[in-house]
A = this chain, B = another copy of it.
Amino acid sequence: MSNTAVTAVTTTATLPLATPAPAYPTVAGADRRARQDIAGTLKLLGDVLAPKRRLVHAGDVLYQCGEQFGNLYIVNTGFFKIVSLSPDGREQVVGFKFRGDWLGFDGIANAQYTCDTVAMDTGEVWSVRYDALIRACADHPKLLTILHQAMSRVIAHDSDSLMALCTLPANARVADFLRFWAESLTHRGMRADQITLRMTRAEIGNYLGMTLETVSRALSTLARDKIIAFASKGRRDLSIPDLQALSAFIQRCLVPVPRAS
């Protein structure tokens, strides 16, 4: 029920992709986001730019707020959180990133990064000098297309986040977070029915604008309703048997009174 755009329904991107996109199964709740060919993008980047590969471990800081901008990063493996800090000390998780995501766009505007980026797991990022990337784009127009699509995707997703934050109650926001997560995994060709939350309830809550207790309660509710199931040991691993059901749950949150006759 909660899928596709309002007017047009063409889901095939018409802009050129690095390589032909493989035929993904059309998942329930699939949105307007296009399939990105991450492997192709990484290959092109690797061939053209010889990016510096950097291994990171949980807790490593890739770059910090205020640091001079120079590199963009592409996540090959691993998992990152982006944290924004206000002058008065407030902390805000503004994103979670993984395979195929770009890091550092925020730094271009003012020649310094405006966020901290922290690894939450062992992984590998590729770093490219921004100026080198731009030079390379002259010879490889596809690179520029990829870059712009990546930036555009961030901008479009930020709008979606704002919508979720402003229009969904807490339970639905957590559900929507999981839904987006699962969809992202699918788009990247990873398993989406079995996911491991690499972040704490506090981090999820911060990102979603609620307390950790509310996140916990929402997850408990979802588990009670059989929308999700926690794996045997630990509550960081969960399975989503049916994405449709997850979307339905979100919709149900929006109509508090089920219109009892």
Q: A121-163: which residues lie under 8 A (CB-CB) from chain B?
A: 134, 138, 141, 144, 148-156, 158-163
Q: A91-115: which residues lie under 8 A (CB-CB) from chain B?
A: 92, 94, 105-112, 114-115
Question: Given the complex, which residues of B lie within 8 Å of A9, measured CB to CB?
Answer: 66
Q: How many residues of A contact B (CB 8 A)?
A: 68
Residue pairs across A and B with Cβ atoms less than 8 A apart, 27 shown, are A6-B66, A6-B85, A7-B66, A8-B66, A8-B68, A10-B112, A15-B111, A32-B110, A34-B109, A34-B110, A34-B111, A82-B159, A84-B159, A84-B160, A84-B162, A86-B163, A88-B254, A92-B163, A105-B155, A106-B155, A106-B156, A134-B144, A151-B155, A155-B155, A158-B158, A165-B165, A166-B208
A166, closest chain B residue (CB) = B209
A232 close to B (CB within 8 Å): no
The answer to whether B206 touches A94 (Cβ under 8 A) is no
Question: Given the complex, which residues of B lie within 8 Å of A92, measured CB to CB?
Answer: 159, 162-163, 166-167
Question: Given the complex, which residues of B lie within 8 Å of A141, measured CB to CB?
Answer: 134
A112, closest chain B residue (CB) = B8
Chain A interface (Cβ within 8 Å of chain B)? 1-10, 13-15, 32-34, 64-68, 82, 84-88, 90, 92, 94, 105-112, 114-115, 134, 138, 141, 144, 148-156, 158-163, 165-167, 206-209, 251, 254
Taken together as a complex, chains A and B put the C-alpha atoms of A152 and B69 apart, in Å, by 12
Which 8 pairs, one residue from A and one from B, show the smallest C-beta to C-beta distance? A7-B66, A108-B152, A109-B152, A8-B66, A158-B158, A166-B209, A92-B163, A5-B66
The answer to whether B138 touches A32 (Cβ under 8 A) is no
**Residue in contact with A33 in the complex, picked from B34, B109, B149, CB distance below 8 Å:** B109
The answer to whether A13 touches B152 (Cβ under 8 A) is no
Question: Given the complex, which residues of B lie within 8 Å of A84, measured CB to CB?
Answer: 159-160, 162-163
The answer to whether B6 touches A87 (Cβ under 8 A) is yes
Question: Given the complex, which residues of B lie within 8 Å of A106, measured CB to CB?
Answer: 152, 155-156, 159
**With A109-B34, A167-B90: A159-B7 Cβ-Cβ less than 8 Å:** no
